[in-house]
Amino acid sequence: MFSFFSRKKKTPKVLRAQPSAAQKRASFRMPVEFDVLYTLRGRAGRRHGRATDLSAGGLRLATDEDLVRGSVLDLDIRLPDDFLAEMKIEKELFEQTPFGLRPESIKVQPPPFAPMRLHGEVRATFIDRRRGTFAYGLQFVEVDAKVHEELERFIHLWQLHYIRNRRGND
């Protein structure tokens, strides 16, 4: 068979976006501060720390204790929920009528967050110069599905609160 156009078409080169060093997280991280009680596995006694940001996959913990990378901490946290008092979210309810189910949207206050027990492995260590303390990047391990869902709910609601308040201050 004869072809007038004998050149092969080049397949276009596909460039894939590569995450930068700052964007290699699996979960969105949100700035939020709250108290954390923790126990180093294999050691008795609880210590106090301060979470300075949180994602569904981990948190940054500031404390005066020098920990070793790879250490596992048992964390007892209570997520801040005072911001929920001023927040309303839409909830869809279904009412049974003679014509079938009818959806109705209502605005309700989200329920508060229950205290949580998590386990975190120290993945990164550094000095928090602003506070004059040690700081650690912890990755949550052995996370229960309900706890993970509750963390994601907190992150979502905290983002809404953060955006609404930032927009109001501009």
Q: What residue ranges define each of the domains in the chain, with the CATH number in brackets? A: 27-79+115-169 (2.40.10.220)
- Within 10 angstroms of residue 27's Cβ, the number of other Cβ atoms is 16
State residue 127's pLDDT score.
85
Residues of the chain with pLDDT under 50: 12, 14-21, 23, 169-170
Contact assessment for residue 51 and residue 60, using Cβ atoms and an 8 Å cutoff = yes
Give me the pLDDT at residue 69, please: 94
pLDDT at 170: 44
**Is this structure's pTM higher than 0.75?**
no
Instruction: List, in sequence order, every residue forming a beta bridge with 138; answer none if it has no partner.
Output: 59, 122
What pLDDT is attached to residue 18? 43
E strand segments, the chain: 30-40, 47-55, 58-63, 72-77, 89-97, 100-108, 116-128, 133-141
User: In this predicted structure, what is the pLDDT of residue 95?
Assistant: 87
HSE-up (13 A, CA, CB side) for residue 145: 0
Q: Half-sphere exposure (CA, 13 Å, Cβ side) for 64? A: 2
At residue 90, the pLDDT reads: 87
- Give first-to-last CA distance, the chain, whole Å: 70
Residue 149 to residue 79: CA distance in whole angstroms: 13
pLDDT in tens, 108-156: 899 999 999 999 999 999 887 877 889 999 999 999 999 999 999 999 9
